[in-house]
């Protein structure tokens, strides 16, 4: 049986409805009876005590907003009577840096060991498009790879076309060009991609030659393929059109597929995994069940010597003070705060506030302000020390818990982490999300049992049973074991449905000219 409500912190002046409450229903809270004054949707908040206009609303023991009218015990607390206001945060840089206790036993997974020593969880060949103008050609190449051809290469997971809508109409070697360049290079050198072709138009700003030369991809691919020829760049304008471009690419693929098919899985320490963490379609349960359970799994991986990436800096907003305390140095803490300030300025330039987040679905699921959403979202990062803060798609080299600056938009965020080197991803959702990714598999964690049952074909793990008595420690260990299994080749629900070809989404922050 579900409990009717839950209090998350002794200091809170709201409690969370675990199931829908009817008007007049009595619910227990700290040994006392509280009567719902109106119907309260599941996952939403009701006041546990009187809250005057202008007074703070507290959840997780933190301020998530301010009352815009007087609120009485048992009232529904949501967007109609709460505004985010301005929270005065005490950052306390590096004041509470935890010490990581590493696990005595070495955890392993069955992965692919590349020639340059890197560890992979999947084995793909990729067609990278430098610009939208070559996207259709790249897609044509991937679509021509029929199942009967792939059957000849049983150890290859597939051929993927990495296409996007950008690549031009920005400054050559400007910030957006370099960020796209960094993203494409991150995928080209990703351990889950054994070989690649680059397709361009020829006149675009995002030149293929510049990509290969500026990121040393020629040398990298040659090493990865045991001295085989440098990666083939085909420009449509030079090749003589789309048909000839596709034909040339198809002629080059067998060599890449043959090389990729030589790979075999072998035991690899879990310390070589890089885990991307993401949440999308969040609800009022996400910060109570799925996200903190992922946080437990994150701690297990860090204690195994691995790396965990927390992303979506706009969805850290309002909870960053909990991370700066864990920063290993003032430099790391200040870099996180600098990214927070960048996002504030970015929003102002467009006449926006960061609180255009939560989304419509988030609010329907019970999330009222960005502070509330952020406090639940950062739980995915667990409890270990914050060791580094990375720019979007920057190669992640630090072990342990790190942050990458990405937008809150799920495809763009996960793209950045994969470009940074993430080889497995976990994705929590409460409302339901069909997200998947290639070449990095995505494990979906559902925050509540009804949504899990309704969308069971898309969900890998149900965290809703945390509300039924399963401990966060147990659920986190289950997620950790699933991470190792998926890293070893077990398909995720999204992979089983073929999801992941359309989710490559490089982030472009600047204007398009």
Q: What is the structure's pLDDT at 1?
A: 57
Answer whether 219's CB lies under 8 Å from 248's CB.
no
Matching CATH number, 120-265, of 3.40.50, 3.40.1400, 2.30.30, 1.10.1330: 3.40.1400
d(CA 125, CA 247): 17
Record the tokens describing residue 275, joined without a space. Answer: 């885990």
Phi/psi-derived region of residue 226, left when phi > 0, alpha when psi is between -120 and 50, beta in every other case: left
Backbone angles phi, psi at 428, to 5 degrees: -95, 145
For 473, other C-beta atoms within 10 Å of its C-beta total 12
Spatial neighbors of 410 by CB under 8 A, at least 6 apart, are 278, 280, 427, 433, 435
CB 399 within 8 A of CB 306: yes
- Other Cβ atoms closer than 10 A to 121: 28
The DSSP bridge pattern shows strands 265-269 and 108-113 to be antiparallel
End-to-end CA, the chain: 57
Mean pLDDT by 10 residues, the chain (513 residues): 86 96 94 94 96 97 96 97 90 94 93 96 97 98 90 96 97 97 97 96 97 79 50 92 96 93 97 97 95 98 98 95 97 98 93 80 93 95 98 98 97 98 98 95 97 97 95 98 98 96 95 86
> What per-residue confidence (pLDDT) applies to 227?
46
Q: Are 311 and 278 in contact (CB under 8 A)?
A: yes
Q: What's the rounded Cα separation, in Å, for the pair 371 and 316?
A: 8
CATH classification of 5-83 is 3.10.560.10, yes or no?
no
Distance CA(448)–CA(428), nearest Å, equals 10
The DSSP 8-state label assigned to residue 317 in this structure reads T
> Which residues fall within 8 angstroms of residue 453, CB to CB, at 6 or more apart?
none
Q: pTM of the full predicted structure? A: 0.96
Tokens of 222: 């040659």
Chain centroid offset of residue 184 CA: 18
Burial 21-38 (b: 16+ CB within 10 A, else e): beeebebebeeeebebbe
Per-residue confidence (pLDDT) for residue 344, from 0 to 100: 93
Q: Per the structure block, which two tokens stand in for 152? A: 């000849």
Peptide bond into 358 cis (omega under 30): yes
- At how many degrees (to 10) do helices 175-188 and 217-224 cross? 10
Compute CA 125 distance to the chain's CA centroid, rounded to the nearest angstrom: 23
Alpha helices, H only, 405-509: 410-419, 449-454, 472-487, 493-496
Q: How far apart are CA 443 and CA 423, in angstroms?
A: 12
């Amino acid at each position: 049986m579900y409990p009717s409500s839950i209090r998350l912190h002794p200091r809170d002046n709201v409690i969370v409805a675990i199931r829908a409450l009817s008007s007049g229903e009595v619910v227990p809270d700290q040994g006392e009876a509280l009567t719902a004054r109106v119907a309260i949707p599941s996952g939403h908040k009701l006041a546990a005590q009187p809250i005057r206009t202008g007074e703070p609303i507290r959840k997780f023991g933190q301020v998530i907003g301010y009352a815009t009218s007087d609120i009485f015990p048992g009232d529904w607390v949501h967007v109609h009577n709460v505004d985010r206001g301005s929270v005065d945060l005490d950052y306390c840089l590096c004041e509470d840096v935890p010490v990581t206790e590493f696990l005595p036993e070495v955890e392993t997974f069955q992965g692919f060991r590349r020639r340059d020593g890197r560890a992979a969880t999947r084995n793909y060949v990729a067609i990278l498009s430098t610009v939208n103008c070559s996207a259709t050609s790249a897609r044509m190449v991937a679509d021509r790879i029929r199942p009967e051809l792939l059957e000849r290469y049983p150890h290859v997971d597939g051929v993927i076309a990495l296409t996007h809508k950008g690549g031009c109409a920005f400054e050559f070697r400007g910030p957006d060009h370099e960020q796209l360049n960094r993203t494409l290079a991150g995928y080209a050198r990703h351990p889950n991609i054994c070989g690649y072709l680059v397709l361009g138009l020829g006149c675009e700003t995002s030149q293929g030659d510049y990509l290969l030369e500026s990121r040393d991809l020629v040398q990298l691919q040659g090493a990865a393929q045991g001295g085989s020829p440098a990666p083939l760049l085909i420009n449509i304008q030079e090749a003589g059109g789309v048909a000839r471009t596709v034909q040339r690419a198809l002629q080059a693929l067998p060599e890449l597929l043959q090389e990729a098919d030589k790979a075999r899985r072998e035991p690899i320490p879990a310390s070589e995994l890089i885990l991307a963490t993401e949440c999308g379609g969040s609800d009022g349960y996400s910060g109570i069940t799925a996200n903190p359970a992922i946080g437990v799994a994150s701690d297990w991986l860090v204690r195994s010597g691995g790396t965990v990436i927390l992303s979506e800096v706009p969805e850290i907003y309002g909870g960053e003070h909990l991370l700066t305390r864990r920063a290993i140095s003032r430099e790391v803490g200040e870099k996180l705060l600098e990214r927070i300030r960048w996002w504030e300025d970015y929003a102002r330039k467009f006449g926006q506030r960061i609180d255009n987040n939560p989304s419509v679905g988030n609010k329907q699921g019970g999330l009222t302000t960005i502070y509330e959403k952020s406090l639940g979202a950062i739980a995915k990062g667990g409890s270990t020390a914050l060791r580094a803060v990375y720019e979007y798609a920057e190669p992640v080299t630090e072990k342990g818990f790190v942050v990458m600056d990405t937008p809150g938009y799920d495809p763009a965020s996960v793209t950045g982490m994969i470009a940074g080197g993430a080889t497995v991803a976990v994705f929590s959702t409460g409302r339901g999300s069909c997200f998947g990714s290639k070449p990095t598999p995505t494990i979906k964690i559902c925050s509540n049992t009804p949504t899990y049952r309704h969308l069971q074909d898309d969900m890998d793990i149900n965290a809703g049973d945390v509300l039924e008595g399963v401990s966060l420690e147990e659920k986190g260990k289950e997620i950790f074991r699933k991470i190792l299994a998926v890293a070893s080749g077990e398909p995720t629900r999204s992979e089983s449905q073929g999801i992941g070809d359309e989710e490559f989404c490089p982030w472009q922050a600047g204007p398009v000219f």
